[in-house]
Amino acid sequence: MKKLVVLTGSGISAESGLSTFRDSGGLWEGFDINDVASIDGWYRDPEKVLEFYNQRRKNALKAKPNNGHKVLAELEKYFSMTILTQNVDNLHEQAGSGNIIHLHGELFKSRSTGDESLIYDITGWELKKGENCEKGYQLRPHIVWFGESVPLMELAIQTTISAEIFLVVGTSLVVYPAAGLLDYVQHYVPVYIVDPVIPRKLSRPDVHYFEEKASTGMNKVRDELLARYPME
């Protein structure tokens, strides 16, 4: 099987009804992103941050995978596949994808503020002040905020270097460091990009643009990939 590496962004989740901060003029569901999506915001007002992510979690519980997620899961039958996602929701998992690297963390997990190795599943949608890890430290959302490093970035880079096909779905390619992963795709590897607005043309051979939503564009990508790489 060919190794297919997929980078997904907020556009694919937006089709399932999950809002994104880049479409809201600096406000995200009524919150200033500097207050709720940065490590400084956490230090200033952890209760506000907890409230924000509780609301996001509640909304995410109602969301269902769309056709874009489902086609990606379907492609696992034909390719050795890894999804590198900038999204913190679990819609890829719900759709049936199995090998997922969450670059920016996971909404339905918490971690210790005193020991980052202590990570817990969140049942339901609430995480409250006073909920502590086994060592007595407050739990925080298991999210990579502005001002923090991306701990899985090196793994994502190595995965990208090994790709034989690289697919980008629903991302503006302006959020770094994830957008920089394209720089690690081998020059001879075919690249497919699916997004309603193609942000920039790539100066490399064998690039295929699908200027539409993931829910429709992924049908075309699937058909093209299966025609180009028939099962051996």
Task: Please write down the long-range contacts of 151-154, taking CB distance under 8 Å and 24 or more positions apart.
Answer: 152/101, 152/102, 152/103, 153/103, 153/177
User: Is 102 designated active site?
Assistant: no
Task: Identify the active-site residue in 92, 102, 104, 142.
Answer: 104
CA nearest to 87, candidates 71, 107, 73: 107
CA nearest to 218, candidates 52, 53, 6, 45: 6
Label residue 211 exposed, middle or buried (CB < 10 Å: 0-12, 13-18, 19+): exposed
Cβ neighbors of 178 (< 8 A, separation 6 or more) are 7, 9, 84, 86, 103, 104, 150, 156, 171
Residues classed as catalytic:
104
